[in-house]
Structure 1
Amino acid sequence: MSTEATLRIMNGAHKEMTSLPRQEQGAVYEFMNRFKANHRDPILHVQAAAVDSEMLTARIDGSYRALLLPVGERDYLLAGVKHRDEVADTLARQAFRINRVTGGIEVIDLAQVARGPASEEARPPLFGAYTDDQLLALGIAEPLLPQVRDLSSEEELTGLVGRAPQLTADVLVALAAGTSYDDVYAQITEPVEAEAPVDPDDLTAAVNSPATQVFSDDEALQAVLGQKFEQWQVFLHPTQRKLAEKPTTGPTRVGGGPGTGKTIVALHRVAHLVRQLPAGKDKPILLTTFNRNLAADLRTRLIALGGQELTARVDIVNIDKLAARVVSEAKIGAGKRIVDDNRVPGLWQTFLLEIGEKAWDADFLYAEWTQVILGQVLNSRNEYFRARRPNRGRSLTRGERDQVWQLTEQFTNWLDGQGVWTWRQVAERAARLEMDRAARAAAAAEESSGSLLRHRYRHVVVDEAQDLSAAHWKMLRAMAPVLGDDMFLAGDTHQRIYDNHVTLGSLGINIRGRSSRLTLSYRTTRQILAAALEIMSGEVYDDLNGGEENLAGYRSLLRGTQPTFRAAATWSQELDLVFDQVKEWGCPADGSVAICVPTRELTAAVAARLQQDGVPVTEIGPDGPKGAGGVHIGTMHRFKGLEYQRMIIAGVSHGLIPRQMIDQFASSDPKRYQRERQRDRSLLFVAATRARDELAVFWHGTPSPFLTSRLIQQRLSEEPAAQLGLDRQAL
């Protein structure tokens, strides 16, 4: 039985570590390494903290003890670093609970609030206007509710907030300041609220929740123990600090492969910009990303970095919600229902059938409408005649463009008749509105008219930049004035899994000379990284500005086992391979193992096969896993932004990856064929880089052409493909 263990460090433990003398800090680091290598090492004296406690204690040195919280098999949290004389008092006073709203683990100090001298006149409770259910729905830690109920002065509130979990503190301060209940929910609670029901007893799911701020140590983090970093839970590598804090003369982009810290740099950029702001209560900084889940994660991390004082000056919202807000403010589209993008091609097919149109392909018209007409915010047929159509494949004559324009106008009217519109239409309309606002603001400033009209933001920071459409970029460009430090973009085109190809320069966002690339992965092992890079070999990707980008120098400091690549004759036999692999990993039901496949049909088949043998499964939906435990299963698109200890990628067969349907474009539309093929390759790359420790790849029949002979024959060393130009010495 393996004695190795995973050890992650909670925020409170970090603060305690950095307050220790340097010698004791070194002892803590040595303890962590020893514990990870053998958590049963008798020299550590690991034992139950108390009869009625889930906590364990372990010996760091003669004076200090580690408080450990088991969260899974060989998976632990370092929850505290205490002097041996303080351990008993800490265990009696502190509790660890899973917040029912966020799904994250919270450390709750149950010590009673110090009361001031009794006054002659009884003061009303600060939060008497709210019911228990209302306060709990905002995320107040349930064990603290009785104390919250008794608060009657600012001094008492300050005493509780100083030791309460972050969400509880933020909610109480906002309510006490007079913020309405609905606004507190919308601004503080909703962005961090778990998408799926929370199991208050599932520690494994909770530790992997974005709401739980923990960090895993590795070789690169040893320096942290010798320095007094203000925060450790959002670790910024020293080589990245310059990127986060350097003044810029215009839009700036940071690229890099999965797990290299692009998001962390973006968050520290936001924190740096906030520190430069004059005092105020407005939110002149926008932090946005592609979807709601990622936006919630950004807010959680930003809170960990600087608390409510930092987030109070930042508008954190996903890009479609931002566009919808702009349109709603203009009172446009009232009563219309917005349909998801994945339904729109089907609507095009229905429309073409109804009008009897057979000359044009629904998928082509959908892409032309979204990427060119809506994407470039074209207002007229003449503008469409003159528009560039980058990455659109086949060329169109003037007569064909006229036909396409007429069909898109008819389709728009048809949608109006259905009482619906699409997110792409919302983005296009929002871009128009913001461009008009920017023009009026510029005119007012030039005329010195004294108008109060201004750009919506002073700074715009974007994460997952590769996923945004041209209309999104036009909207964002119009939202901030063209000045230094105006736009900061983090993204990786190798992870582009949506068909949004843009050239930022043509959209008024000039990043030339202001682009940087991160190359050190903190997530996955060298062995998994080597396999992922082999999958990408031979492919050319853009840099969002008309040039090319590669993954040269992308590397990891972490070692692990070689990924597994295995073939089966049939899909049924491949399902057996999947089950055998899950069984070999111990059939964990803690959400640490995931299986991704190319299609929904395969998802259902894998789930049925595992359930047949009693393995619990959880499907990953559009908003993330639908439950906490079990083996997580979903299509490749669902894994964006997720991370698992062990991953299986199944169905990596010819005709599935890449999709067989794109073969029809090989001769009729070679550019589209290349674009679709590249998107499928990126999907496989994203899936492979979700794995932290172990990766298994299976196929039946003929393997995907993306699996090179080096992978199939398992001749891949931990050195990435030579053709990518990686520095082998750096590995």
Structure 2
Amino acid sequence: MAAGDSALREGSRLSEEADALFELAESMKAKSRNYLAAASSEAGLAPALRALAELGWHVLEDRLWPNSRRANLDFVLVGPGGLLVVDAKSWAEVRVHDGGIYRGQESCEDDLDNVDRLIDALTEGLEHIGLTSAAITVVWAFSQRSIDASVRAVKLVGARDLVEWIARLPRRFTDAQAESVSAALAEICPAIESEPPLRLPLARHRGRSATVDTQEVLPGIDDLVRALLDAELTEPIESWMTFLHPDQVRLTRTHWNGPARVRGPAGTGKTVVGLHRATHHALRSPHPIIFTTLVRTLPQVFAELARIVSEPASHNIHFVGVHQLASECLQKVGEHAGIDSAKVNTAFALAWSRSDLKNSSSIGNRSPAYWQEEIDYVIKGRGLTEFEQYRDLQRIGRKTPLRLGDRERMWDLFVAYQEQLRLRGTYDFNDLILRAHETVRRFPSLFQFSGVVVDEVQDLNLISLRFLDTLAGDGPNRLLLLGDSRQSVYPGGFTLSEAGINVTGRAHVLRENYRNTAQILAAAAALVVEDAVLDIEGTLEDRLEGTSSRVGGKPTVATGPDSQALASMAIDSMIAARACGASWGNMAALTRTTREARQFTTLLRHRGIPVVPLADYAGVTTEAVKVGTIKRAKGLEFSRVYLPAIRHDLPRHTDESDSSYDERNSLYRREIYVAMTRARDHLWAGYIDETITLGKVARGTMQR
């Protein structure tokens, strides 16, 4: 070793260590500045947030994440507007661009992912009290910026505007609920214990101490008063939008590695679970979530409900009817998507007029509507293209037996109908679905969605479900089916296996009815309790599940000679309820046909009662009675429901077979079951009893 080598090596080593220590010191100084700025921001917010205690808010400061030893939460607030996690930010540069947040040029995607994990941890920790993720909002409060934006699950707001923004939040919690949530939060988010400062022998902080102007974050008193008045005038958010049963909360967050299904009787919260699950995933998904159902007016109602549950999430959910969705798919590739119902009806009428089926002596139903349904739901609804497929088909949901000869004549009617459509240059709703499905398969890159939620799946036909399954695509959490086979109000049926959908291990049953009183549920269940139905999972259900712990009065049952007499009695009952304090806006009258709905609407208006047709109802509460068909009311609920003209059994057609009559009557009973279970608290059922009229005639004859 040459002279001086050891000294050179030692000098080099010390120099490298000095450089490393210098870099460490600079890094620690930078972190120190960040922490001091954060501390200044937090200290500035603290007085304003503590003042919210006067408005019923519980303010928890410096708390740990659930199940964490180090990650901290600046402020956790629980009060009338829900659960808020407030993170103080001192960033000088922040911007929102293309659905993301940027600090200068740096993306905050990792921070947003952390927010998702935080909300998941809080929801899991509070699952036992039923709090949904929709009630949790993460707020970034910027001390150096005035900003008002939402990105995914994060609300961005200037610190000075924070208190006023909080005061304007719609009411989610009662005082008791806020107290309960706050106590549960204190358990899962313990206070951070203070640590002694790190002391280094050669280190001394020489910078200026941080100063805080607390007035910078306090709003003007006039603004705060206006915010409080605005919040006070808003209707409280319904409880189900914030709290669910713990089992339901779990379903809103469960990870499924394939298609899943949630089923259960009426009132068990299937749609509620679907809405919360859609909002949960919409905040985390790069592409929209589709929420769809057959009833075309329901999506606008669901869209309004989702906006109340979580406005940021609602912007990433596409609420749309199945046929409208198919039209949109075709329009996206420049294809015509209109349906000419008049031409479609003419095409079938001409085909039927030339059909041998109407002259067959072996069939028990000669109604042309029945055989048009056979085409819509059994043949085209299943996508059949060859007679051999129809010849051996098990016609699920159809009780009228068809011999081979009748099936051949039925197929001839179908072929003639298709030819009449072609001659008129038109197509029907099933063709619309088939064309849209083919379009999606040909151009998959044009249809980017993060998932599909299907409500009332039992009312779809097979080709519609296949179409939606293709739109959803493969992968976890992509397809969720909600429904109950006993609530099917359309003929025909299918099984999931026919659609190529397997929900084994991902099918869940809800049994507790949260909507109806036990008395209303019992009255409705009596209609269908003896009817066995084939569920879409392929099992025969011979008993009605579902219980209710809610107690109320017995449904009112009235009888009258005809629909006109019963309508008058129903309106008298509405007026009496109104005189006792009931609201017009909490009442709904449901009929079987559009014609009956129009007639009842005319009678209401004649007596000065405000009305809104269900076709125009968008989920916004108005002081008017809702009137519409039972099918349009599917998925909805009302405090008081009036059924002004129903029957215990349908009149029997001349020469109608037992099997055909049983099929019609079974479908009718399911429809009335759906109607009755729309009622939360009060049910008025008016039954037509023609013997009343016959009795009057008989008595009149005797008197003469």
TM-score for both structures, normalised by structure 1: 0.57
Aligned to 2:646: 652
Q: Tell me the residue number matched to 1:520.
A: 512
Q: Does 1:696 align with 2:704?
A: no
Aligned to 1:495: 487
SS at match of 1:565: strand
In structure 2, the residue matched to 1:424 is 430
In structure 2, the residue matched to 1:238 is 246
CA distance in 1, matches of 2:523, 2:304: 32
Contact 1:254–1:490 (CA under 8 A) maintained in structure 2: yes
1:260 to 252, 262, 268: 268
2:330 to 307, 327, 342: 327
Distance of 1:576 and 1:673 partners within structure 2: 30
Q: Which amino acid aligns with 1:410?
A: A
* Alignment partner, residue 317 of structure 1: 320
Deviation string 1:110-158 (CA, Å, 9 cap, x unpaired) is xxxxxx9xxxxxxxxxxxxxxxxxxxxxxxxxxxxxxxxxxxxx99996
Contact 1:532–1:689 under 8 Å retained in 2: yes
CA spacing shift, 1:690–1:663, aligned 2, 3 Å: farther
Which letter maps to 2:552?
G
User: Do residues 676 (structure 1) and 699 (structure 2) align?
Assistant: no
Q: Which digits, 9 at most, give the CA deviation of each residue in 1:505-546, with x for residues without a partner?
A: 111012244321112233232222222222332122332122
Q: CA deviation at 1:324?
A: 1.7
**CA deviation string 1:345-383 (max 9, x = no partner):** 675235433789854753243223222332222334454
- Counterpart of 1:290 in structure 2 is 294
Contact 1:563 1:695 in 2 (8 A): yes
Whether the aligned pair in 2 keeps the contact of 1:235 and 1:264 (CA below 8 Å) is no
Please give the alpha-carbon distance, in whole angstroms, between the structure 2 residues aligned to 1:282 and 1:616: 41
**Contact 1:520–1:554 (8 Å) recurs in 2:** yes
CA distance in 2, matches of 1:313, 1:389: 39
1:427, 1:472 within 8 Å by CA — same for their partners in 2? yes
Give yes or no for contact 1:502–1:544 (8 Å, CA) kept in 2. Answer: yes
Indicate if the aligned counterparts of 2:258 and 2:478 stay in contact, CA closer than 8 A: yes
1:472 to 464, 475, 492: 464
**Which residue identity is paired with 1:244?**
T
- Rate the CA distance shift 1:579–1:288 in 2: closer, same or farther, 3 A: closer
Cα deviation 1:459-491 (Å, max 9, x = unaligned): 332122122111111112223444443421111
Residue 299 to residue 617, structure 1, CA distance change in 2 (3 Å):
closer
1:510 aligns with 2:502: yes
CA contact (8 A) 1:457 1:479 kept: yes
Q: Which amino acid aligns with 2:636?
A: L
Which letter maps to 2:246?
A: P
Residue number in structure 2 paired with 1:197 = none
Alignment correspondent of 2:419: 413
Pair 534,389 (structure 1): closer, same or farther in 2 beyond 3 Å:
closer
Q: 1:175-232: per-residue Cα shift (whole Å, max 9, x none)?
A: xxxxxxxxxxxxxxxxxxxxxxxxxxxxxxxxxxxxx988798999996575569997
Distance 1:565 1:501, change over 3 A: same
Which is higher, the Rg of structure 1 or of structure 2? Answer: 2
1:635-685 CA-partner distances (Å, limit 9, x unpaired):
32332233322222122235xxx4325685443xx1x44333222112211
* Matched residue SS, 2:297: helix
Paired with 1:15 and 1:466, the residues of 2 have a C-alpha distance of 49
* Aligned match of 2:348: 348
- Local SS of the residue matching 1:681: helix
2:178 and 2:517 map into 1 onto residues whose CA distance is 16
Structure 2 Cα separation of the partners of residues 158 and 662 of structure 1: 72
Residues 455 and 481 in structure 1, CA contact (< 8 A), matched pair in contact too: no
Name the CA distance, whole Å, in 2 between partners of 1:222 and 1:676.
53
Seen in structure 2, the aligned counterparts of structure 1 residues 318 and 18 have a Cα distance that, compared at 3 Å, is: farther
Q: How do 1:73-88 and structure 2 match up within 5 A?
A: none
Within the candidate set 359, 368, 371, 2:374 is matched to: 368
Question: Which whole-Å CA distance do the structure 1 matches of 2:632 and 2:410 have between them?
Answer: 33
Matched residue SS, 2:498: helix
For residue 20 of structure 1, what is the aligned residue in structure 2?
Answer: 58
**Contact in 1 for aligned 2:56/2:175 (Cα 8 Å):** no
Does structure 2 conserve the Cα–Cα contact (< 8 Å) formed by 1:593 and 1:645? yes
Q: 1:599 to 1:379 in 2, by over 3 A?
A: closer
Q: 2:395 aligns with which of 360, 374, 389?
A: 389
Aligned partners of 1:304 and 1:222: how far apart in 2? 23
Separation (CA, whole Å) in 2 of partners of 1:389 and 1:397: 12
CA distance in 2, matches of 1:454, 1:595: 42
Aligned residue type for 2:254: K
Question: Relative to 1, partners in 2 of residues 1:326 and 1:386: Cα closer, same or farther, differing over 3 Å?
Answer: farther
Are the structure 2 counterparts of residues 289 and 702 from structure 1 closer, same or farther at C-alpha, using a change threshold of 3 Å?
same
Q: What is the identity percentage for the equivalent residue pairs of Structure 1 and Structure 2?
A: 24
Q: Secondary structure at the match of 1:265?
A: helix
Shift of 1:254: 0.6
Contact 1:466 1:495 in 2 (8 A): yes
Q: TM-score, normalised by structure 2?
A: 0.59
Distance change in 2, residues 1:536/1:396 (3 Å): closer
Compared CA separation, residues 427 and 702, structure 1 to 2 (3 A): same
CA contact (8 A) 1:427 1:471 kept: yes
Q: Deviations over 1:70-124 (max 9, x none)?
A: xxxxxxxx9999xxxxxxxxxxxxxxxxxxxxxxxxxxxxxxxxxx9xxxxxxxx
Q: CA deviation at 1:627?
A: 11
Distance in 2 (alpha carbons) for counterparts of 1:626 and 1:703? 42
| 1:144-223 to 2 correspondences below 5 Å | 159-161=147-149
Query: Residues 458, 696 of structure 1: CA spacing in aligned structure 2 closer, same or farther, 3 A cutoff?
Result: closer
Q: Verify the 8 A CA contact 1:528 1:688 in the aligned structure 2.
A: yes
Partners of 1:506 and 1:242 lie apart in 2 by 29
Structure 1 residue 428 displacement after superposition: 2.2
Q: Aligned equivalents of 1:355 and 1:16: distance in 2?
A: 78
Residue 200 (structure 1) aligns with: none
Contact 2:269 2:514 (C-alpha < 8 Å) held by counterparts = yes
Letter in structure 1 aligned against 2:303: R
Q: Which moved more, 1:393-402 or 1:557-566?
A: 393-402
1:429 deviates by 2.3
Q: Give the AA of the match of 2:641.
A: M
